[in-house]
Amino acid sequence: MKLHRLVLGLGLALGLAATAAAQTTMKISISTAQNSHQGIAIDTFAKEVEKRTQGRYKVQAFYNGALGGERESIEAVQLGTQELAFSSTGPVPNFVPETKILDVPFLFRDKAHARAVLDGPIGQELLTKFDAKGFKALAWAENGFRHMTNSKRDVKTPEDLKGLKMRTMENPVHVAAYKGFGIITTPMAFPEVFTALQQGTVDGQENPLSVIISAKFDQVQKHLSLTGHVYSPCIFVMNKGVFDKLSAADKQAFIDAAKEGTKANRARVDEDDAKGVADLRAKGMTVIDTLDKARFVAALAPVNAEFEKQFGKANLDRIRDVK
């Protein structure tokens, strides 16, 4: 009887050990707060991965740049020291140059247009460009249309931007465009931005309403202008080696989980956009929401001519023409 119990006990212990061993934990990170459009993206993704792989894979989420800024996270995924990251496309062109085209100012009419491009053939082609660089790009998600904030003055015309010292993303297309406005550009990782604004190292920054709200920039910025100058996608990236080792069913589970994360993320962006202006006004920001967009587009004519040379007019028109 004792022997039987011993065998049974050993069997149970081994069974539990096998279950424990069978669960693989992976890390994913964002630079923004958990209560944000990016937080909901990775929390939904984590829940879906666990559900779709019957608990064999668990995704541990890190927020607020706990594992570093976006560029560092993408680098970590490429090197394989971190399995997953969710990032805006800010630093992505430094790794996958083909994605630069998405950052051209005033390229997208609205969110519906941008989503149609990313979910359609153009976006899907771009996802495949990550493979050669050590990534598996799982899905496009969203950061939103970027708007400008600063502590100095109301920005109503492009001329009002001249001489403002603005934090920009570590992104070559953005830097070129903002210099075209006469902005003094200061590329900086996102986790450093709040302090830089607080200390006056920079006058302003530009980000979607979702980011401005979740980062509490209203505490250190007085003026917001709804310039909507650049559409900013987000992306789920995974280390290619880690992805390649998954079974076919698990690969699909990760891709489908990322798509669910995207749905939740876009819904949150829509919600933030709908209530963001009133929310920020209530917190004391001056919001300029009636801008003559055409003047801003015209101010960038020389820069856009350069972009047409760099990316090819046909490639830019292919994006512009998506219905």
pLDDT tens-digit map of 193-205: 999 999 999 999 9
Both tokens assigned to 25: 């934990």
> Are the beta carbons of 291 and 226 closer than 8 angstroms?
yes
> Do 59 and 84 touch, CB atoms closer than 8 A?
yes
DSSP secondary structure of 270-318? HHHHHHHHHHHHHTT-EEE----HHHHHHHTHHHHHHHHHHH-HHHHHH
> Encoding tokens for residue 97?
């140059």
Mapped onto helix, strand or coil, the DSSP state of residue 139 is: strand
Going from N- to C-terminal start, the domains of the chain cover 19-320
Please state, in angstroms and rounded to a whole number, the distance separating the CA atoms of residues 238 and 14: 32
CATH architecture of the domain 19-320 equals 3-Layer(aba) Sandwich (3.40)
Sort 128 into a burial class: Cβ within 10 Å, 0-12 / 13-18 / 19+.
exposed
pLDDT < 50 positions in the chain? 7, 16-21
For residue 20, the model assigns a pLDDT of 47
Residue 125 vs residues 121, 140, 256: alpha-carbon distances, Å: 6, 12, 18
What pLDDT does residue 170 have? 85
According to DSSP, the residues that pair with 168 across neighbouring strands are: 187
pLDDT on residue 17: 46
